[in-house]
Each structure stands twice: as structure tokens, then as C-alpha cells.
Amino acid sequence: MPTAAPLTSTTIDGAIDHLQTTYPKAVSVDDREGYGGIIVDSAQLLDVARVIRDELGFDYLSSATAVDYLGAGDHMEMVYHAYRSSGGGALVFKAQTERDHAEIPSLVSVWRGADFQEREAWDLYGIHFPGHPNLKRILMWEGFHGHPMRKDWREAYYEEEQKPFDSRWPGGHVHRAEEKNVFGKNVSYPREIDLSRLMDTSESAVYQSLGLGVDVERVMDKDGFETNELVVNMGPHHPSTHGVFRMVLTVDGETVTSLEPVMGYLHRNHEKIGERNTYLHNIPFTDRLDYISSMGNNHGYVLAVEQLLSLGRRYNEPTYRCEVLRVLMVELSRIVNHLWAIGFWLNDIGAFFTPVLYFIQERERILDFFEAVAGSRMMCNYMRFGGLFGDLPERIKSVSNLTNDRARDYNTIQFLTEMVSERIPRTIDELEQLLTQNEILIERSVGVGVLSAEDAINYSAAGPLLRGSGVPYDIRRADPYSIYDELDFDVAVEDAGDMYARYRVRVKELRESVRILRQLLPRLEATEGQSIWADGKPGAYAPRVPLGEAYGRVENGKGELGYYIVSAGGKSGTSNPWRYHVRAPSFINLTPMGIMSQGYKVADIVGILGSIDIVLGETDR
């Protein structure tokens, strides 16, 4: 269907029009109040998805997640956010299915990045995806009964649907949850289950998906030597997996023939907790996702909720100073994140702790700053809807009040200026002196763990993993938020797609962050005295969030961090999100881990994993 402008660069509305004319029956505009995008008939979903990718150019599937509309239509819905890797906004499309026998065709054949996300939707929502190559649970274990994100599923120690719980006030007699019987009213078993005969079947499922049992096979390698193909478990308890994480490898001699990540050991159903919580309650919970960069987590979440709030009448945009402070904090977190990522990646490939400790010295100072401003080093809980917890204190000062305290006292702005103009750049220089030309490092990392640009996009890789493969996609530029469009910085990119390229991207980004910070200092000075709240006073603790959906995304240190939030609206008087989904970069960046490892040596695997830079608090949620 030839048109005047090339379809791959039409506006979102143009794209929607095109889809509607091509598929008049299957595509309809989502006209629910506060919603956007299109609803696609799931029978035609695959065709429409191919058009979206190939004809309209939305080659990057950022997020795919499910929503359970129990009591509000009684259907399940898959929500997809597709972007163009050249930049711009999202094409949101949805497919609906009934709750019993929920079934939606798998999009893995269109976007490989849907792989883990569909498995998650199957695991947590019980939506079946015909056509998925490996549809099994991903966060819960095989054999788990039920799908915990469904609205009618209740957790152990269940108390009430939503916080705040009535039992806390005014008649709040304390109890410990674990003193109650966990098998009380909260848990139900299907009648045919005999607890005494329960067996763990999750293991065999993992091995079966690799195409073999646990048996050792005798095979010949390419030179005719007799070798054993083995299944090796790395983790869950392994010092190089950065937490409790496991990789099941099949190896032929030293060479990896296939790899599958196994995760979920730190799963706490963060999203279910988030839907019990009020909007405000969720901010400190986001700190615990990627606990290296909690400021960035806060930012993505408040942006999403602010999108919803701005649909209502009583909403004030954050002030300019507030935006400056947010970006300041987020860029400092990015520095912390990259220093940490590079340092621990070096640990993985054998430069044990010398480099990382040099970086941690700077990180400590940044964390001291966070502590003085936000009250905590890592669990910052700093951002609020429409504002912040507080402005910068005049001094970074501690008073000695425990025995043997060592006190400090600095002028905040001076401390910040010296960090930005001297210490951090010096550390980056040292980092490069130590590593960039280091022959051992180069030999270990060049040409290892290669991911091509096409694969990176198709597998929904994000952050340094994507940019290290030659795709100059940075949300701060591609789909700007906050004040990034007025700041001067370059998108770091490297073409090689190997571990070394990812390292180089991180170093470049460190320098770009310093560049941004330098531009922020005069802005801080210029806005001195301006309130961080638009109306001068802190926001309410239970804001009324209007009906609708929102997707807030930020470029976090580890990649694209997105929050998909659905509000049931103020009509029902609830201040709790109906749906709270985290698009976690650490989780989705593991999707290409398998193809990145094939053909490399076992010893490279830890390095490849380290070069992706994951954090398990976010992977497992």
C-alpha cells in the first residue's frame, strides 16, 4: 500500500490510521477514558504485529505485560509498547482474552524480546501463548499452583485487598504475621493434590527444555576427540552471578553449546505488593528494585504517576528547580551504577577488587551526598509526585551523638562542585589509565559475547547492552523527559557489540554524565531559593489519581526502566494502582544471554553476564 510519506516515519496517529484501514475489523481504537493506542483482535494479532514491525518500523518492543480486569470487564489484556529504534513515542497495542482459558498468540516470532515477558505473563497471569518456543514458568517454580498476579489470587498472610489496613488504627493491637497459621484461610489446594506425595518437578523441566536429560552423552568434538557433553549448573550460589541467579549450561569440553538463565530466587511479587500499596507507598519499594540506582527508579515511577495525575484538574507540574535536582540525582546515580558495573565486571574476569575499590571511594562520596540530602545512602526514597522529599541542605553535616562518632561538615554546593569538576573526572581518567589499554583486559574482552545490532533490537536489549551493539538509542534523546532536551550531551555508542564495547560505552557515559552535571551546577545556582513544589507546599499523601493508564520510562544505568500503571480512578475512591508493572532492564536484558554465550568458553560466561550488568532485586522483582 504505497503512500506519500514512507510509513516507517509516520506519526503514531498516522500509524494507527494505517492499521485501521488495513485491518478495519481487527483493529479498533482504545477509547476507554484515559487510555490510548489500539485494541487488536487476538486472532489477527500476529499479522498486525508484523505490519507494525516491518511496514511501520516499530522494531523495538519495549514492554509486553498483562492486566487482569476482574470486575471491570472480566477479561485479561496484554499490553504492548513498541517503539522505533530511531526514536519517538510508543505505539501501544493491546489484545484481549477471557479470563478462563486465557490465550493470546505469541509474538516471539516477531520480537524475540517478547520471550521472557510472555513467560512472565504465563507464570503470573496464566495467559497461554500458542507459538511460544519455551512456555514455562520463569519467576515461580514449575509446580506452583495458581497465577499470583491474578486479582483473585491471595498470598499467604493475606490481610486485605488494599492498604492501609484497618487493623492498624485506631485499634491497632500488634501481631506478627508469622504467628498466624500460614495454611489457614489463605491457602487452598486442589482436591486431587496429596501433600505427602508432592514432588519437585521444576528441575526436570529445566533440563528438558535444553533437549536432554541429565545423562552424560558421549560425543566427538570437531577434531575427532571423544568428549563429554555435560550439563553444568552455575549458581544459584555462585560468587559471579551477582546474587542468587543460576545459569544452566551445556558444555562441549570448555565450549558452551547452550545456556539458559534460571531466575526467580529473589522473587517477592513486587508487583502484587505494589497493587496492594497506595501510590505513595510504592516509592520506597521502587528503591529496592535496582538498589544500586534507587534515584533512577524513583524517577521512572513518579513520571508515570505524574502522567496520570496530569489528566486530572488539580495538578501542578514540578518546578524547574525540582527537575534540576532530579536530573542531578539521577546522573550521580548513573555514575555510581557504571562505576559499580565496570568494577564488578572486572572482578568477574579476574582483576580482583583493586579497580573496584578505587571506584568505590568515589561512590562513597556520592552516597554520602545522597545520605545528607535524602536520608539514606542507597534506599533514597527521594522523589515525590510533583516534587521531592526536600531541597539540598546547606551543609553536609553530621553531629556526633553516638560514642566515638567521627563528624564531618562540608558546604553542600562546594562539595558537589569539587566532586563534579575534580574528583569524578579524575577517577574516570584513572579508570581509563588502569584499564582501557590493559592488554589482559583487551584479550579477555574483545570479540567475546558478541551481540549484533539486529539481535540487540529484536531481543529488546536496552542500555549499554544495546548501545554497545551499535544502536544509538538512549531514551534521554530518543524520547526525552524532564529537562534532558535542553541539556547538551552525546549518546554513547560503540559498534563492536562485544564485552569491550560495552565497557567503552559505560566509560563514555560516565564522561557524558559529568558533562551533564557541569551544566546543572549553574542551573542550581540560578534556581536557588525557588521552591521544589509548584504551590510551595508538599503534596498530599493520598493524591486522587484519575482514571487511565500511563507508561513512564527513563534511561536508567542498566537500561530502559519503565512503569506501566493503570488507575481505576477516583470514582471508587481508591488511591491504589489497579495495575503496577515494572519493565525491568535487568530482566529483559537477559533474554539474549543465551545467544551471546554460544560458542564461548565457560570462563567467559561470568564476564558476559557481568558485562550485561544485572541486579537481582530488579530481575526477580
Partner 1 sequence: MYGTGLAKGLMLTLRHFVDSYIDDIRYGFRKYSHSVDNFGIRQGTQTKGVITVQYPDEKVAVPERFRFVPFLIVEDEDHPTRAGKDWCTSCGICAKVCPPQCIWIVRGNDPDTGRPVPEPEAFFIDIDICMNCGYCAEYCPFDAIKMDHDYELASYDRTTHHIHDKERLSKPNSYWRSIAPTRAYEEMLARGTWEHKDAAKEARRGQSSSRRSAPRPAAKAAPAPAVKEAQPTPEPAVSAAPVAEGSTPWSEDDAKREERRRKALERKARRAAKRGG
Which residues in 436-495 contact partner 1 (CB under 8 A)? 436-442
Q: Which of 17, 422, 486, 495 binds partner 1 (CB under 8 A)?
A: 422
Footprint (CB under 8 A) of partner 1, residues 182-221: none
Footprint (CB under 8 A) of partner 1, residues 304-323: none
CB of 242 to partner 1, least distance (A): 23
Give the interface segment with partner 1, choosing from 281-289, 302-310, 319-327, 338-346 (CB under 8 A). Answer: 281-289
CB of 381 to partner 1, least distance (A): 5
Residue 419 as a binder of partner 1 (CB under 8 A): the answer is yes
Please classify residue 205 by burial: count the beta carbons closer than 10 Å to its beta carbon, then call 0-12 exposed, 13-18 middle and 19+ buried: middle
Q: Is the dihedral of CA 207, 236, 497, 587 positive or negative?
A: positive
Place of cell 511460544: 132
Q: Alpha-carbon distance 341 to 595, whole Å?
A: 22
Helix (H) or strand (E) holding 43: none
With contacts defined by CB under 8 A, how many residues of the chain interact with partner 1?
71
CB of 188 to partner 1, least distance (A): 24
Q: Which of 174, 193, 199, 214 binds partner 1 (CB under 8 A)?
A: 174
Footprint (CB under 8 A) of partner 1, residues 3-62: none
113-151: string of b/e by CB count within 10 Å (b at 16+)?
bbbbbbbbbbbbbbbbbeebeebebbbbbeeeeebbbbb
Q: Which of 181, 188, 204, 433 binds partner 1 (CB under 8 A)?
A: 433
Place of cell 518437578: 201
Q: Which of 204, 228, 354, 572 binds partner 1 (CB under 8 A)?
A: 354
Give the interface segment with partner 1, choosing from 55-63, 130-138, 419-427, 493-501 (CB under 8 A). Answer: 419-427
CB of 326 to partner 1, least distance (A): 17
Contact 420, 428 (CB under 8 A): no
CB of 399 to partner 1, least distance (A): 6
Using the minimum distance from each CB to partner 1, give the nearer residue, 3 or 404: 404
Give the interface segment with partner 1, choosing from 213-221, 434-442, 450-458, 527-535 (CB under 8 A). Answer: 434-442
Contact 428, 510 (CB under 8 A): yes
Using the minimum distance from each CB to partner 1, give the nearer residue, 143 or 375: 375
Which are the contacts of 171, defined by CB distance < 8 A and separation ≥ 6? none
Using the minimum distance from each CB to partner 1, give the nearer residue, 422 or 454: 422
Using the minimum distance from each CB to partner 1, give the nearer residue, 153 or 389: 389
Using the minimum distance from each CB to partner 1, give the nearer residue, 176 or 191: 176
Using the minimum distance from each CB to partner 1, give the nearer residue, 412 or 452: 412
C-alpha cell recorded at residue 519:
551544566
Residue 280 as a binder of partner 1 (CB under 8 A): the answer is yes
CB of 66 to partner 1, least distance (A): 25
Q: Which of 34, 88, 164, 480 binds partner 1 (CB under 8 A)?
A: 164
C-alpha cell recorded at residue 471:
544502536
Write the DSSP string, 304-354.
Answer: HHHHHHTTSSS--PPPHHHHHHHHHHHHHHHHHHHHHHHHHHHHHHT--SH
Using the minimum distance from each CB to partner 1, give the nearer residue, 379 or 595: 379
Q: Alpha-carbon distance 98 to 498, whole Å?
A: 44
Give the interface segment with partner 1, choosing from 37-45, 264-272, 431-439, 518-526 (CB under 8 A). Answer: 431-439
Footprint (CB under 8 A) of partner 1, residues 358-417: 358, 361, 365, 368, 371-376, 379, 381, 389-390, 393-394, 396-410, 415
Which are the contacts of 614, defined by CB distance < 8 A and separation ≥ 6? 242, 245, 558, 586, 589, 590
Q: Where do the H-state alpha helices sit in 422-482?
A: 424-435, 439-445, 453-458, 464-467, 475-478
Quick check: helix, strand or coil at residue 104? coil
CB of 544 to partner 1, least distance (A): 15
Contact 540, 570 (CB under 8 A): no
Using the minimum distance from each CB to partner 1, give the nearer residue, 196 or 437: 437
Residue 536 as a binder of partner 1 (CB under 8 A): the answer is no
Q: Which of 250, 255, 258, 282 binds partner 1 (CB under 8 A)?
A: 282
Contact 244, 235 (CB under 8 A): yes
Angle between helices 499-526 and 320-349 (to 10 degrees): 150
Using the minimum distance from each CB to partner 1, give the nearer residue, 47 or 430: 430
Place of cell 557515559: 509
CB of 528 to partner 1, least distance (A): 17
CB of 63 to partner 1, least distance (A): 25
CB of 377 to partner 1, least distance (A): 9
Which are the contacts of 485, defined by CB distance < 8 A and separation ≥ 6? none
Residue 573 as a binder of partner 1 (CB under 8 A): the answer is no
Using the minimum distance from each CB to partner 1, give the nearer residue, 175 or 185: 175
Q: Which of 172, 184, 213, 350 binds partner 1 (CB under 8 A)?
A: 172
C-alpha cell recorded at residue 160:
486485605
- Nearest partner of 553 among 495, 608, 474, 475, judged by Cα: 475
